[in-house]
Chain A
Amino acid sequence: MSALQVEPYAPDAGADAPPAAALELRGVHAGYGRVEVLHGIDLVLSRGSVLAVMGPNGAGKTTTLQVIAGLLKPTSGCVHVAGFHVNDVTPEVRARAGVCSIPEARGVFPNLTVNENLRVFTHAGDQPYHVVQERAYSRFPLLGQRRAQLAGTLSGGERQMLSMCRAFTTDPAVLLIDEISMGLAPLIVEELYRVIAQLAAEGIAVLIVEQFASMALKVADYAAIMRLGRISAVGTPADIADALSDAYLGPQA
C-alpha cells in the first residue's frame, strides 16, 4: 500500500476499531455528461471474499467498476480502498496500490506481443518481469507457446487468459472483473473461475460483474443485484435466487 499517498478517511479510528474493508462504496453517484447512471451505490467488500454483481443491461455494473478503477469520477459519494479515501487518486496510482481491474473483452494490448503485454503488466505490483512471465506461463502453458505472437491474433479464450494474468502476477489487494465469461467456451470459463476462487482463497477481495449468473454464483460468497443504477438486493447466492429472476424478467404478478 506504500504507493497510495492519501490520508485515511477515518483518522480517529482507534486500535480496537475493526480493520477497514478492502473496498467500500458509500452513496456513489456517477454518470456520463448530464446523464446520471449510478444513483447512490453502497457496497462493502472484505478481504478474501467474492462478491458477484449481477443485473440486466444498462443497470450500471460496468460504470460501478469504472468508478472503483478510477476511470470515472463520482459526482458525489466516496470510494474507499483499504480504508483510504481514493476519489481523487488517478487510475494508475490505484492500480499500483493494488486495485486490479480487468475490463470486459478488452483486457490486452492487441498490437503488443504476449511477452510485451506481460512487460506492461509489471507496472503494478513488485514482481520483476521474469517472475511475472514464469507465473503466467506456468498457469497457462498455452500462452507460453504464443509468447512472441501479437495479442490481437490470439483466440478469445487466450486473450481472456492473458488479461487474467494481470490478476495473479501483480499481487493485487482488490480484483475487479467485468463479464469474464462473455462469449467464451464453458471449459475456459471454468478454468478462469478456478483461478478466481484460488485468488480469493489467498485473501484477495474479488468483485465479479456478470450478466449470466450461474458460474459466478458458484464461487461467490455474496451476490448483489443492480437495477437502474441502484443495488436492489444483496445476500448470499441462495438468498437472492428469486430476486434474480425478478431483476431480469420483472416481478411476478
Chain B
Amino acid sequence: MLSYLVVGIILGCLYALTATGLVVTYTTSGIFNFAHGAIGMFMAFTYWQLAVAWHLPWPLAMCLVLFVMAPLMGAVIERGLVRQLYNASLGVTLVVTLGLLLFLLYAADGIWKPTITRNLPTIFPGQFHLFGVVVTWYELMVLIVSVLVAVALRVFFTKTRAGITMRAVVDDRDLTARAGASPARTAQLSWILGASLAALAGILIAGGHLEQLDQFNLTILVISGYGAAVVGRLKSLPLTVGAAILLGILVSYGVGYLPVRLLSNLEPVIPVILLFVALLVLPQGRLRTASFAREVRRVTSLRSSIVLAGLFVLGAWIVSGLISPGNLITLGTAVALGIVFLSLVLLTGYGGQVSLCQMTFAGLGAFMMGKTLGGGSIVGLAAAFALPAAVGAVLAVVVLRLRDIYLALATLAFAYAMDNMFFNRELGFGGILRVGRFAVHSQRAFLVEIAFIFAVCAVGVLALKRGRFGRRLSAVNDSEVACASVGINITAAKVLVFTLSAGMAGVGGALYGGWQGQVGPIDFQMLFSLIVLLLIALGGLDTVAGAFAAALFYALQPTIQQHVHVSNITGLLVGLGAVALGRNQGGIVGQVSDAVDRIRRAWPSRVPGAGVRTGPAIGAIPREEGEVVRIAG
C-alpha cells in the first residue's frame, strides 16, 4: 500500500525534473524543445562514458556532465539552431527541435552501439525502513535533489536579476533590449539551464528507473513529463511539479492495482491519458492575430494538374516495366507512402497545423484494410479512410481549441499510446497482419492502381487549395481573430482539414500494407511519424512534388543504408537536414519551385498573375456570389 506511495512520489520527482526543464526553456525562449529528452539521454550516455568506460570517479564525472558538458551543449544549440528561430513559425521550431531529437538519438545509437549492456554506476547503495516501508538511499537522494532544484529555480526566477530578466525576455524581447539586457544572451542562459536540467533528469532516471541504458526509452520518457507540463500550462513551475508528483503516484498505483493481463505495458500510457485529460480541462487559448506576411506559392491550375496526374500514372506504368523487381518494390512503397506525405501537405502545408502521428493514422488504415472482408475489398479501403478520419476528428475536436503547440504534444502522445496500447497488442495487429489488394494482383497493375489513387489525391488536394475551402484555410492561418470577426468558423475549418488528412493517411497506409502484403507494429511506430514530418518539411510543405520526393527518400532508406557504412546514416541526414531548415524555411523542392516562379515572372504577359503573391491572404476571404457574411445580432 504505502510502498506504492513512496515509489510514486519518487517517480513523480523524476517526472518533475524533466517537466521543469521543459517549462524553463519554453517560458524563457518561447520554443518548445522536443529534443529535451534526447539531450538528457545523450548526457546520461556521456556520463556512462566518463564514469564507467573511462573509470573517472562518479562525482567528478557527474560534475563534468552537469556543469560543463550539458551547459556547453545547451549554449551551442542556442547559438547554432535556436537563435535563428525567434521569429519563426511554430512549424519550423517544431521541425528543427524534432530534427535535433532524431539526430541525437541516432548519433547516440551510433556512438554507443547497443551490443553491450550498459549500467550507470551504483550510487548511494543500501536502504532503510520508514514506517515499515523499504526506501533506498538512492530514492531519498532523488527526492532531496528534486526538492532542492525546485526551490533553487523558484528563488532564481523571482529573486535574482538574471532570472527575472529571463522572464522579461518572454514578455517582450524588444523591451528587454531597450532596458539594456541582451535578449540573445539571456535566452542562451536559459538553454544552458535547460540542458543541465535535462542532463540531471536523464542521469537520475537512467540510474534508478531503467534496467539499462537505452537510447530510445530514455529519450521518450520525457513524454511522461509533458502531461505535468501541460497541467502547468507550460509556464507555472509549482503547478508542474505538483502535477508531476500526482502523476507519479497515479502511475505507481495504476501499475500496482490495475489488472495486468488487460493492460500490461501501462506505465507509459497513464501519463498520456493524463495529458489528454489536462488538455480537455485547459481553458481555450487566445486567438492568434495576424501573422507575418509570408510567401504564397502559386498553385497549379486544375487543367495542368490533371494532365500532370495522368502523366504520372502513365509514367508509373512505363517505369514499372523497365526496372528490377527490387527497385519496383521501392517505387511502390514510395508511391503508397506518398499519399501519407500528401496528407501532410494538406494538413501542414495548407492547413497550417502539425501532426506527429501521421504514420499512426496510416497504421489504422492498414488495420482496417486487413480486418475488413478478407483484406482486399473496396469496403476495406473505404474503412481505411473512415476510421482514421473519425479518430482524427475526435482528436482534433479535443485539442484544436488550444494553441498549436498542444496539438503537436497531443498527436505525439497519441502516437506513443497507440504504439503501446494497440499496434503491439493482440487487439491490434496481433503480431503481423496480412493486408490484401483491391481488384488487382500483379505487382505492376497494383503499382498503377496506387499511382492512380496518389494522382487523384494530389489533384484533389490542389483543387481544395485553389477553392473556397483553401482560401478559408489561408485566412485562418493568417489571422484567427480576423476570421472570427467576419464569421468564419475557425474550429470547423481546422477539424475538417485534420479529418480529411487523417483519412488520406489511412488510405495511404492501407495501400502500403497491400503493397507489402503484410504489416507489423514496427511499420508504423512513432519515430517514423517524426521522420515523415521532417522529410516532408525538407521536401517543401506545400508542393506535391515535394511530398513525392520525400516519400521516395523514405522508401530508399534501406537501399542508402546498404551502400553507406555509417550506422543510421539516413536518420542522421534527416535530423541534420531538419536542423538546417531553420536557415532555409521553404524546403528543397520549395526552392526549386520558387526559382521556377521567378523565371515565370520574367514573362508576365505569358502567365498573367502567376507570380508570387506576398502579404496576408485576408483579402482573399471568400466573396463569391451567394455567400452571405453573417453579422451577429
What residues of chain A have their CB less than 8 Å away from a CB belonging to chain B?
33, 69-71, 90-92, 95-96, 100-103, 106-112, 116, 119-125, 129, 166, 170
| Residues on the A chain within 8 Å of B183, using CB | 92
| Residues on the A chain within 8 Å of B172, using CB | 106, 109
Residues A120 and B177 in contact, CB atoms below 8 Å apart: no
- Kindly name the residue among A70, A96, A109, A166 whose own CB sees the greatest number of chain B CB atoms within 10 A: A109
Residues B171 and A95 in contact, CB atoms below 8 Å apart: no
In the assembled complex, the Cα of A144 lies from the Cα of B161 at a distance in Å of: 19
What residues of chain B have their CB less than 8 Å away from a CB belonging to chain A?
158, 161, 164-165, 167-168, 170-172, 174-183, 293
Known contacts A92-B182, A119-B161, A123-B165; decide if A109 and B175 are in contact (CB<8 Å): yes
In the assembled complex, the Cα of A91 lies from the Cα of B178 at a distance in Å of: 6
Partner of B174, one of A91, A96, A112: A91
Beyond the given pairs A120-B176, A124-B179, 19 more chain A to chain B contacts, judged by CB atoms under 8 angstroms and listed by A's residue number, are A69-B178, A70-B177, A92-B182, A95-B179, A100-B178, A103-B174, A109-B168, A109-B171, A111-B171, A112-B167, A112-B171, A116-B167, A119-B161, A120-B161, A120-B164, A120-B168, A124-B180, A166-B179, A170-B180
Residues B161 and A122 in contact, CB atoms below 8 Å apart: yes
| Residues on the B chain within 8 Å of A69, using CB | 178
In the assembled complex, the Cα of A29 lies from the Cα of B170 at a distance in Å of: 30
In the assembled complex, the Cα of A110 lies from the Cα of B168 at a distance in Å of: 9
| Residues on the B chain within 8 Å of A110, using CB | 171
In the assembled complex, the Cα of A123 lies from the Cα of B178 at a distance in Å of: 10
Give 11 CB contacts A-B under 8 Å: A90-B182, A92-B179, A95-B178, A103-B178, A108-B175, A109-B167, A116-B167, A120-B168, A121-B179, A123-B179, A166-B179
Residues B180 and A92 in contact, CB atoms below 8 Å apart: yes
Known contacts A120-B161, A120-B164; decide if A101 and B171 are in contact (CB<8 Å): no
In the assembled complex, the Cα of A122 lies from the Cα of B161 at a distance in Å of: 9
In the assembled complex, the Cα of A95 lies from the Cα of B176 at a distance in Å of: 10
Nearest-CB residue, chain B, relative to A70:
B177
In the assembled complex, the Cα of A112 lies from the Cα of B180 at a distance in Å of: 17
Nearest-CB residue, chain A, relative to B176:
A120
What's the minimum C-beta distance from A163 to chain B, rounded to whole angstroms? 9
| Residues on the B chain within 8 Å of A124, using CB | 179-180
What is the number of contacts between chain A and chain B, taking CB atoms within 8 Å? Answer: 73
What's the minimum C-beta distance from A102 to chain B, rounded to whole angstroms? 8
In the assembled complex, the Cα of A71 lies from the Cα of B183 at a distance in Å of: 12
Known contacts A112-B168, A116-B164, A120-B161; decide if A101 and B180 are in contact (CB<8 Å): no
| Residues on the A chain within 8 Å of B179, using CB | 92, 95, 120-121, 123-124, 166
Residues B177 and A119 in contact, CB atoms below 8 Å apart: no
Residues B178 and A120 in contact, CB atoms below 8 Å apart: no
In the assembled complex, the Cα of A4 lies from the Cα of B182 at a distance in Å of: 14
Residues A91 and B171 in contact, CB atoms below 8 Å apart: no
Nearest-CB residue, chain B, relative to A108:
B175
Residues A120 and B165 in contact, CB atoms below 8 Å apart: yes
In the assembled complex, the Cα of A17 lies from the Cα of B165 at a distance in Å of: 42
| Residues on the B chain within 8 Å of A102, using CB | 178
Nearest-CB residue, chain B, relative to A96:
B180
Nearest-CB residue, chain A, relative to B174:
A71
In the assembled complex, the Cα of A124 lies from the Cα of B161 at a distance in Å of: 12
The 8 closest A-B pairs by CB, nearest first: A124-B180, A123-B180, A95-B180, A91-B177, A109-B171, A123-B181, A96-B180, A92-B182
| Residues on the A chain within 8 Å of B178, using CB | 69, 71, 91, 95, 100-103
In the assembled complex, the Cα of A92 lies from the Cα of B177 at a distance in Å of: 4
In the assembled complex, the Cα of A122 lies from the Cα of B164 at a distance in Å of: 11
Residues A111 and B167 in contact, CB atoms below 8 Å apart: yes
In the assembled complex, the Cα of A110 lies from the Cα of B175 at a distance in Å of: 11
| Residues on the B chain within 8 Å of A92, using CB | 176-177, 179-183
What's the minimum C-beta distance from A204 to chain B, rounded to whole angstroms? 16
Nearest-CB residue, chain A, relative to B177:
A91
What's the minimum C-beta distance from B577 to chain A, rounded to whole angstroms? 27
What's the minimum C-beta distance from A131 to chain B, rounded to whole angstroms? 14
What's the minimum C-beta distance from B24 to chain A, rounded to whole angstroms? 15
Nearest-CB residue, chain B, relative to A69:
B178
| Residues on the B chain within 8 Å of A101, using CB | 178
In the assembled complex, the Cα of A109 lies from the Cα of B183 at a distance in Å of: 14
| Residues on the A chain within 8 Å of B165, using CB | 120, 123
In the assembled complex, the Cα of A249 lies from the Cα of B176 at a distance in Å of: 38
| Residues on the A chain within 8 Å of B158, using CB | 116
| Residues on the A chain within 8 Å of B161, using CB | 119-120, 122-123, 129
Nearest-CB residue, chain A, relative to B181:
A123
Nearest-CB residue, chain B, relative to A110:
B171
In the assembled complex, the Cα of A69 lies from the Cα of B182 at a distance in Å of: 14
Known contacts A91-B174, A109-B171, A109-B175; decide if A119 and B180 are in contact (CB<8 Å): no
What's the minimum C-beta distance from A105 to chain B, rounded to whole angstroms? 11
| Residues on the B chain within 8 Å of A91, using CB | 174, 177-178
In the assembled complex, the Cα of A156 lies from the Cα of B89 at a distance in Å of: 31
| Residues on the A chain within 8 Å of B176, using CB | 92, 109, 120
Known contacts A92-B183, A106-B172; decide if A112 and B177 are in contact (CB<8 Å): no
Known contacts A120-B161, A120-B164; decide if A103 and B177 are in contact (CB<8 Å): no
Residues A111 and B177 in contact, CB atoms below 8 Å apart: no
In the assembled complex, the Cα of A230 lies from the Cα of B275 at a distance in Å of: 55
In the assembled complex, the Cα of A173 lies from the Cα of B182 at a distance in Å of: 20
What's the minimum C-beta distance from B430 to chain A, rounded to whole angstroms? 51
Partner of A120, one of B181, B182, B293: B181
In the assembled complex, the Cα of A229 lies from the Cα of B172 at a distance in Å of: 27
Nearest-CB residue, chain A, relative to B185:
A92
What's the minimum C-beta distance from B410 to chain A, rounded to whole angstroms? 26
